[in-house]
Amino acid sequence: MSAGENIRHDSANTHVTGKSAFIDDRVMMHGEVFVGIITSKCAKGKLKSIDFSKALEVSGVIAGYKASDFVSNSWGTIVHDQPLLVDEQVSHFDEPLALLACENKESFDLAKGLVGVVIEEEEATLSLDVAIEKKEFLYTATSFKRGDEPLEIIKKSQFFLEGDFFSGGQEHFYLESQSSIAYPLDDGGIEIHSSSQHSTETQHVVAHALGLPLNKVACIVKRMGGGFGGKESQPAAFAAYSALIAKKLNRSARVVLTKDDDMKTTGKRHPVKTFYKISFDEKGKITAFWADIYSDGGAFTDVSPSILERTMFHIDGAYFLPSVCINASACKTNYPSNTAFRGFGGPQGTIIIESIIEDIASTLGIDALKVREVNCYRDENNITPYHQVVENNTLPELFTQLKKDSSYEKRREEINLFNKQNKGVLKGLSFTAVKFGIAFTARHLNQGNALVNIHLDGTIEASTGATEMGQGVNTKIAQIISEVFGLDATKVKMMATSTQRNANTSPTAASSGSDINGAAAHKASLLIKKRLQNVAWRKMNDFPFSTNEEYSLEDIEKSTRLEFINGMIIDKVENKQISFEETINIAYLNRISLCDYSHFRTEGLGFDKTIGKGKAFNYFTNGVVVTEVSVDEYTGEMKVLKSDILMDLGRMINPGIDEGQVCGAFVQGQGWVSMENLCYSVKGELLTHSPTTYKIPTIQDIPREFTINFIENDTTDMNVRRSKAVGEPPFLLGISVFTACKNALSYRSKDTKIVSMNSPATNENLLMKLEELKA
């Protein structure tokens, strides 16, 4: 089996049997120490002193370390503005202050309360509104502008809306918490095993913190127990903690956070508040749009600038905005630095326009689908607010097909009748779309590399910079390689990601893991394939293997026509064949390389951040969904009754894995907009820091009827195998649960009163909104 076919995830068996090894499953080395983290108990203040003396009296406590123990204490993905450990200024509750090296976790639990910490508390900024008012910004983006001045058009328009919209944060809730083990090496270097989406950044932060050259630090990532963006940047600090103690004590050191500590210490999805004005005609066609976007970046920069810009890139959703101005700033607050999360700011943009469209429909008294259809990107209206042309656009086809397949119009009539005749339960129906740009918006990250080695028994080992977090990237890359050589994918083994094999890698993020790393592996495989075609053709035709012409081709056309099929290399023209295994052994005996390395970069990108214009994305992944919900008018309880998804993923590399990604992303998006609610104390302490207080979707919450289908599309020629990325785009389809809730509540609004509601639409928020609508 090769690319385009369903094969199991390469870790499927070990996952379900419990044999998959994660960081904390690694056997403890002799003398290995447990690294415990002491954190701040206020959101802002001056650190005056740290006293380890009483803690060191506890049996099993070896040593304590502070910021001054690092050679360099600053780090950050974009700006080095974050301390590894607080040296003077406390910036958020549960910010790491100090480390305890202990014989075991039990010793740390006894000692952590004995570390003397003196902090002079200061007034913290714990509200996005306050940060906006004070203009406390981490970053302000260049505005996106296109068309005529939108505010002038809006001012003269018969139909317009203005208001604000807030979408809350979200906890990653990966199953494996932040984890790292550092092993001291005999040359003074460090080997780090980390649960990280970015092996290179982890390597760089550790080397920088310890004052080591990069070739003295190796980062290895076999797999993660989930990531969702929460392990793109933030694992690097935890790796530095374990590395510091391993270096100081010359003993292996392990950092493994509990779920509670992980949730308290790490950043979330960015909450976003947007002020907007929009005008439209009597059919709902948008004529102008203006927006001021403010994201909550937390205490430090992290990747907030890039996330903010992706919110700007996706505020248009699937809809053409003829005259537009989009402004955006990332605000500084005293919360843990918010960070990457599946969709990377895109969901926070798209939910704004989808919510506004529901309001436009309510204002005009028409079905929201009509508003979406009249504004959908089409060939005649295909320019984004940042001046990129929307090419290979399948959105109109997706709208048309799903409208028919889901029996949308019939269901709308049924829901209209149901809500008219029934009291106590409301139903809502919403049809939303996604147009998700695929590429890193930081241009230099759009590159990958791969190493492919063929062994003499016909098996293959391959290494790339992609990290496996459960999404199946290694399975897909193995299928790409096996297809090149006409082998079963089981012949290909993907190695653990390592900076010793693949350096200067990009994070596995932006839905580009399979794209850039798969393309690099494909490129390397083709280099080897070309040599093997030459070897096979020479053997078939008794052409001598000249020492001086080892890589030459007497007849390129004849050799390149050879096909690799089911372990054989075949010349269909002359009806000759030779086995793959025999060919590679002949190549080896004639000193012809069976290994190759290749580098890939995404071509054609050209977005200029200084002017807010250009081609930001390689292509767009599109999809649509129809979601039906019910809302109990007495309790606010919401149920997702049915969701029908239709997506364009081009020529899928592994349809089964892709379908799983669509399903999981939708449900995670559903959770963000309907139940996942982060609550903090007045002092800035996270209160919802465990599975008992933070609610994510369970089997009881997913749609009662759930269908996922795909269209055939062979036109995406700018990506490996004409496939399209799938990791993040379907997350945005979960927004339909929110808009369906708004639609349900609109049946109780008076005089086409707009249902102004923020996200998430929790049961409590729905109930309060129902009470408000009755007033």
Strand bridging mode 253-256 / 563-565: unpaired
Q: Is 549 noted as a catalytic residue in this protein?
A: no
Cα gap 612→591, rounded to integer Å: 52
Closest to 359 in 3D by CA, of 2, 753, 703, 754: 754
The two structure tokens encoding residue 290: 């203006």
Catalytic residue among 728, 764, 771, 772: 728
Residue with the two structure tokens 């496939």: 723
What the block records as the tokens of 676 is: 């996942």
CA-wise closest residue to 476 among 485, 466, 486, 154? 466
Question: Which 8-state DSSP code applies to residue 608?
Answer: B
Strands 460-464 and 492-494: parallel
Residue 258, φ and ψ in degrees, nearest 5:
-75, 165
Spatial neighbors of 304 by CB under 8 A, at least 6 apart, are 138, 139, 270, 295, 297, 298, 330, 337, 338
Q: Helices 368-375 and 395-405: crossing angle, nearest 10°? A: 150
Residue 680 token pair: 């903090």
Q: What is the DSSP string of 71-131?
A: S--EE-SSS--EESS-SSEE-STT-EEEEEEESSHHHHHHHGGGSEEEEEE------HHHH
Give the C-alpha separation, 403 to 630, whole Å. 20
Both tokens assigned to 706: 């759930």
202 near 273, Cβ under 8 Å? no
Report d(CA 75, CA 97) in Å as an integer.
15
CA–CA separation, 278 vs 153, rounded Å?
9
Closest by CA position to 456, among listed 579, 339, 369, 539: 579
Are 465 and 202 a contacting pair, CB within 8 Å? no
Question: Catalytic residues, which ones?
Answer: 728
